[in-house]
Structures are given as structure tokens and as C-alpha cells.
Amino acid sequence: AQSVTQPDIHITVSEGASLELRCNYSYGATPYLFWYVQSPGQGLQLLLKYFSGDTLVQGIKGFEAEFKRSQSSFNLRKPSVHWSDAAEYFCAVASYGGSQGNLIFGKGTKLSVKP
């Protein structure tokens, strides 16, 4: 069965520091991969997605993620974190084709930003 693991429940970084949030997936074929962000009391906003091509994808708000098939990973990065980035981040995998396409989410990583 497909699954997504986000090993870090909570991460704290200083404003201006770099950030990497980890995501590992389990899926037999080439996955569709997503990162979403959720601010308190809000819905989920799509940051970026990968389904083919260049393994380094750029998203909104200065985020990027790199797909590494050999490691079954899709880690999210940002070179310099802003206080407004404090939120919860979810990695998700979707199956491809036919009647599939539902998203399987990881448990999320909560990001806190120190001034």
C-alpha cells in the first residue's frame, strides 16, 4: 500500500536560516508528489508538485523540492526562512491513472520560526 512518512513532527529554525523538511514515500511506480502548507485554522495550500521531468521543482513562496527515486524521497527546502513560514507542512503522494488519483498524506511537520 502507498504511504508517506514525514519523520520530523516538529522543527524549529531561526529566521533567515535554511530549511529542509523530509518526506519519504512508498509507491511502486513513478509517483505524483506534492507539498502542501497549512496555516492555523486554514485549509491546505499547494506549494509545489512533481510528476515527471526535472527532479528539482520550484514552488511558491520560495520553496523547492527534489525528487530522489533512489532514496524514495521528496524533501522540501527553502534557503532562508521567514517568520511567516511558520505553519504545518504536508507531503502527499497520488496514484496515477484510471480511477485513482486520491492523495495519501503524511502526518505533517510543524515548523516554528525563532526571531
Q: Whats the size of the chain, residue-wise?
A: 115
Alpha carbon 71 to its chain centroid, in Å, reads: 15
| Residues 45 and 38: beta-carbon distance below 8 Å | yes
**Side chain identity at 11, as an amino acid letter?**
I
Beta bridge partners of 38: 44, 88
Q: Which is nearer to another protein, 11 or 15 (CB)?
A: 11
| Residues 39 and 87: beta-carbon distance below 8 Å | yes
Q: Does 111 bind another protein (CB under 8 A)?
A: no
- The region of 15-23, 62-70, 72-80, 96-104 touching another protein under the rule CB under 8 A is 96-104
Alpha carbon 41 to its chain centroid, in Å, reads: 19
Q: How far is the CB of 92 from another protein (least distance, A)?
A: 8
Q: Which is nearer to another protein, 49 or 77 (CB)?
A: 49
Closest by alpha carbon to 111, among 41, 24, 37?
Answer: 37
Q: Does 46 bind another protein (CB under 8 A)?
A: yes
Q: Does 49 bind another protein (CB under 8 A)?
A: yes
* Site residues (CB under 8 A) for another protein, limited to 23-42: 32, 34, 36, 42
Q: Does 3 bind another protein (CB under 8 A)?
A: no
- Lay out the site mask for another protein across 50-89 (x = CB under 8 A, - = otherwise): -x--------------------------------------
